[in-house]
Each structure stands twice: as structure tokens, then as C-alpha cells.
Structure 1
Amino acid sequence: MSIKFPVLLAFFCLLACHSHKATLLRTSNFLKENIRMLNEIMKTKASCDEMNVTSIFADHKRENEVEILCKAATVALEGQRCYKQLNGISLNLLRLVTQTSPVFKAPCPVAVGNTTSLKDFLLDLNRVLQRLAKDHGI
């Protein structure tokens, strides 16, 4: 009887580690794909690069990363008229948010007020995603 408990305990530990790896793998795929799409977008020039979108990165030090990603998904949808790929980026961001925290529901509200250009938003989003990828060892 005593042999079964350690085996069962080891089995549960392996399951827990495996699910964490699976979540991290999905997260890394979404991050890599978003970074790739952002790099493609930033290589192209469009007349709508200067369109105004809500600025969410100005005060992001007070918010957690998941909330920032959720808001970024909402703002990316604002810019999809300019770049079709922003729809895919928004969907990937929402998947990252829902995998990480069940608290946030899409779309996340963003406060109207400060604005930035779409180009600057994309640069800031790329920096945030690069930092997240580095923090997760991706």
C-alpha cells in the first residue's frame, strides 16, 4: 500500500509539470506569431500609420501584463482597418489573456483620452511582447 502513494504522487507531479509546459508552449507560439506579424507590419508603410488609437502603454506600470495584453487586443482591433494582420494579432492576444487569467473578458475596455499613432502603438506592443518572450525564455 505504501508503494502506491509515492507512485501516485509522482504521477500527479508529472501531470502538473506537463500541463505547465503545454501552456507555456501555446503561449510561446502566440508570442512568436505576434512578434513575427508585428515585424512584417512595421516593414510596410501605410498612409494610415499616423491614425490615432487609444494610448494604453503610457500608464502601464500600474497595470498587470495580462490587463495590458487584453487592452492591446482591443486597440489592435481599432487599427485593423489599416492592417488586416491586426485582427490575427488581436485574436492571439485574447488567447494569451484567456490562457493566463479567467478574470479578463474580451473586449477589455480602454479609457478614451490619450491617443498615440498606430505606428507608435505597434512599436510599443512589439517591445512588450519581446520583453514577455525574453522573460518566459522563448
Structure 2
Amino acid sequence: MSIPGQVLLTVLALWAGQAGAAALLQPSILLQESIQLLGALLESQVSCNKMNVTNIFAGNKHDNELEVLCKATTVALEGRSCHQHLEGISLNLLSLVRRESSAPQGPCPVAAGDTTSLNQFLVDLRRVLQRLVKDSSFK
């Protein structure tokens, strides 16, 4: 085998190993990383923080943690045009939902209803994630 072929195989093996390691990330690490990203987003002052998003936290006392995270994934994806880091947060949340649920899930549909500012959504999501870190259900 030529040297470029060996290099290519080595790079592919390393890349596959990193993908496997990423899949093994603990839920608490995903939550903590998302909380840190949310903190950075909340410190940034941009005009799109005022854009309206669906308020998944309004009156949803009957939703379980997975439903809230799944809906938050959808809202975060909708807001990624404002903040690029929301895509990473949505991927983290989706990973948590898929890990904790036996059924394969994607971003959940979110019914139109009450709206809130993107900034308030970020504050509420950060509060929920901080509570989940303290709970033992996602560790």
C-alpha cells in the first residue's frame, strides 16, 4: 500500500474513533455544555433576541422532561438563524432525547400558540437544563 493510502486509512480510523467517543458522551456533559452555550448566548446582545418563538414552557406542566427537551430542540433549530450555537444546543438536546427514549425521535412538532422572545426562551431553557443537571435522571 502506498504512503498516501496508509495516511488515508489512519485518518479514517482516527475520525471513526472520535465519532465513537462523541456518541459515548454522558448526558450530564451534554447538559453542561448546553448550559454553557446558553450562558454565552444570553450575554450576547443582538436584535434577533427579541424575535418571537413558540413558548413551549407556557402551561405545559403535564409534559415530561423528554417532551420538553424534544420541543426545545425544535424551537432551538428555528432560532439558529439568530444564533449559530443554537444548532449545537439542539443537537445536544436531540442526543439526550434519543438516548433516553426507546422510540427513535427527531425534533418534535410544536403547536402554534403562545409566543415569547428568543431571549426568554433561552433563559427558560437554561433554567430547565440546570434543574436536570441537579436531578439524577440524566446522569
TM-score, length of structure 2 as denominator length: 0.78
**Following TM superposition, by how much is the alpha carbon of 1:125 offset from its aligned partner in structure 2, in angstroms?**
0.1
Letter in 2 for 1:112: A
* Residue 104 of structure 1: how far off its partner (Å): 5.7
Cα deviations by residue, 1:13-72 (Å, 9 ceiling, x for unpaired): xxxxxxxxxxx9610110010000000100110000100001100122111000000000
Q: Match of 1:116?
A: 116
- In the alignment of these two chains, the number of paired residues is 116
Q: How far did residue 113 of structure 1 move?
A: 1.6
| Cα distance in 2 between the residues matched to 1:55 and 1:89 | 17
CA distance in 1, matches of 2:25, 2:74: 24
Structure 1: state its 5+ residue gaps: 1-23
Richer in helix (by share): 1
1:105 Cα deviation after fit = 1.5
How far the C-alpha of 1:114 sits from its partner, in A, is 1.0
Q: What residue is the counterpart of 2:36 in the other structure?
A: 36
Question: Could you tell me how far apart the structure 2 residues matched to 1:129 and 1:61 are?
Answer: 16
Quick one: distance in 1 between partners of 2:114 and 2:61?
Answer: 16
Structure with bigger gyration radius = 1
* 1:127 matches 2:135: no
Residue equivalent to 1:98: 98
C-alpha deviation, 1:102, in angstroms: 2.5
TM-align CA RMSD: 1.9
Runs of 4+ that moved beyond 2 A: none
- Aligned counterparts of 1:104 and 1:71: Cα–Cα separation in 2: 15
